[in-house]
Amino acid sequence: MTPYTIAQEAYAALGVDTEAALQRLAATPISLHCWQGDDVGGFEKEGGELGSGLAVTGNYPGKARTIAELRADLDQAYALIPGRHRLNLHACYADFSGGKVDRDALTIAQFQSWIDWAKARGLGMDFNPSYFAHPKADDGLTLTHPDAGIRGFWIEHGKACRRIGAEMGRQLGSATVTNVWIPDGSKDLRMDRKGPRVLLEASLDAVFAEQIDPQFHLDAVESKLFGIGSESYVVGSHEFYLGYAIKNQTLCCLDAGHFHPTENLSDKISSVLQFVPEILLHVSRGVRWDSDHVVLLDDPTMALMQELVRGDFLGRTHIGLDYFDASINRVAAWVIGTRNSLKGLLLALLEPAAKLRELEAAGDFTSRLALFEECKSLPWGLVWDEHCRRQNVPLGSAWMGALKTYEKQVLAARA
Ligand code: RNT
Ligand code: ZN
């Protein structure tokens, strides 16, 4: 008997096939957000203002300053995360080694080196137009700017990003999800809440007008409750984008930190997926007003993953991460958040689903609750270790040793 086979037997006694769970886990990619590596800096300019309600706190040494450094950091993170995953890139991470262009003129030329890099590693890619940290976003308004010229600029940016995303998906053989999030909103009360929403729908319609083969490319739209500087009104609210996504059958992006603090994504998935084809998740952790802390293996994350498995929604869900913490080692932040997301998913895949459904159907809610709770002390950690062993990554907390070495040898040199 090995530790894994002990766990396998314990689960089999409850009708759970750990091998099937491990297969499913290995086949589920998580999209790592490039922006955790450099505090949403990007490579357009030296140390510009982030703005648009996005704020990163902390100054842990070793932040990636170049594309090469960011790629090295990502390589280190992927090496410590079991499984084959994806890269989620923002447009402001364009490679301008062939010459600088503004955001409305971006083409595949500025992203080919990223695609080549991803291809060499067998990674799929996701993409995002960047509607922030730009002089034309200084008013906090982009696709809903009252000036038609500025609106037009951002519409062109959106169109350019969709073409780039489609080409990424085509070259990598896996559809790229391109996600639109805009900061547009108002710090104080607005007289007119309707007008900007009418503009937003028209702008999005213009951005999405070109038909693109879903085999290569999928569109997502992301709502937000409020941001710094948009406390009183956000144009792209949940109701707005849910309506837009249902009407246009785009993906709906749900960010765990973009709702009232007592709301949970796990409660929303089965409703949203009843009416839109697929969803994109920004797995994150809200702490008070902020939504950008490193993902934990906490109740909301576990409930989210349970819902994806219980509802058989994994095939219609694109899982990405979205947080930015500069107060700890940034590479570790990727590793911790991704491993926790995967652990949550494994826990969900190991649920004695048939047994729980049987109890529920029989109205035996006492046994259902008892079994939910007993599951928490089943030896799932041994199954996780087996996953790490099969995927050739360090077991348990051993990855921290590799990370400390990287910190000493690579990050410390970036003084
Ligand atoms: C902001 C949104 C958005 C961004 C990234 C950088 O509130 O969550 O997803 O975090 O696009
Ligand atoms: Zn997000």
Q: Give residue 223's pLDDT.
A: 98
Could you say which DSSP state residue 289 is in? T
Would residue 222 show up in a list of annotated catalytic residues for this protein? yes
Active site residue 292: yes
Specify whether the CB–CB gap between 371 and 352 falls below 8 A.
yes
Query: Using CA atoms, how far apart are residues 258 and 202, in angstroms rounded to an integer?
Result: 24
d(CA 351, CA 62): 40
Per-residue tokens: 23 = 């297969």
Separation of 132 CA from ligand 1 center, angstroms? 10
Domain ranges for the chain: 28-61+84-335
CA distance between the termini of the chain: 50
181, 251, 294, best to mutate for ligand 1 pocket (most atoms within 8 Å of CB): 181
Strand partners, 90: 128
**pLDDT at residue number 291:** 74
Annotated active-site residue in 104, 156, 290, 358: 290
Residue 47: predicted pLDDT: 55
Integer Cα distance of 237 and 334 in angstroms: 28
Ligand nearest to the CA of 133: 1
- pLDDT, residue 225, reads 96
Has 322 been annotated as catalytic?
Answer: yes
Known catalytic residue at 282? yes
Euclidean distance between CA atoms 53 and 185, whole angstroms: 10
* Residue of 38, 292, 307, 325 marked catalytic: 292
Q: Quote the ligand 1 centre to 322 CA distance (angstroms).
A: 7
| Per-position DSSP letters for 103-144, written without gaps between them | GGG--GGGTHHHHHHHHHHT-EEEEE---SSSGGGTTS-STT
Q: Which of 322, 325, 351, 386 is an active site residue? A: 322
* CA-proximal residue: ligand 1, atom 10 (nearest): 322
Phi, psi dihedrals of residue 54, rounded to the nearest 5°: -95, 125
Work out the number of other CB atoms within 10 angstroms of the CB of residue 338: 27
pLDDT in tens, the chain (415 residues): 999 999 999 999 999 999 999 999 999 999 999 999 999 999 997 556 788 888 899 999 999 999 999 999 999 999 999 999 999 999 999 999 999 999 999 999 999 999 999 999 999 999 999 999 999 999 999 999 999 999 999 999 999 999 999 999 999 999 999 999 999 999 999 999 999 999 999 999 999 999 999 999 999 999 999 999 999 999 999 999 999 999 999 999 999 999 999 999 999 999 999 999 999 999 999 998 777 899 999 999 999 999 999 999 999 999 999 999 999 999 999 999 999 999 999 999 999 999 999 999 999 999 999 999 999 999 999 999 999 999 999 999 999 999 999 999 999 999 7
Q: Which helix H or strand E contains 375, and what residues bound it? A: helix 365-375
| CA proximity to 185, closest of 258, 253, 257 | 258
Q: By the 8 A CB rule, do 346 and 82 touch?
A: no
CATH topology of domain 28-61+84-335: TIM Barrel (3.20.20)
- Who contacts 396 (Cβ-Cβ below 8 Å, separation ≥6)? 385, 388
How far apart are the C-alpha atoms of 103 and 129, rounded to whole Å? 9
What pLDDT is attached to residue 313? 98
Residue 290 has a pLDDT of 72
Whether 321 contacts 36, CB under 8 Å: yes
Ligand 1 center to residue 181 CA distance, Å? 6
User: Is beta strand 251-255 parallel, antiparallel or unpaired with respect to 290-293?
Assistant: unpaired
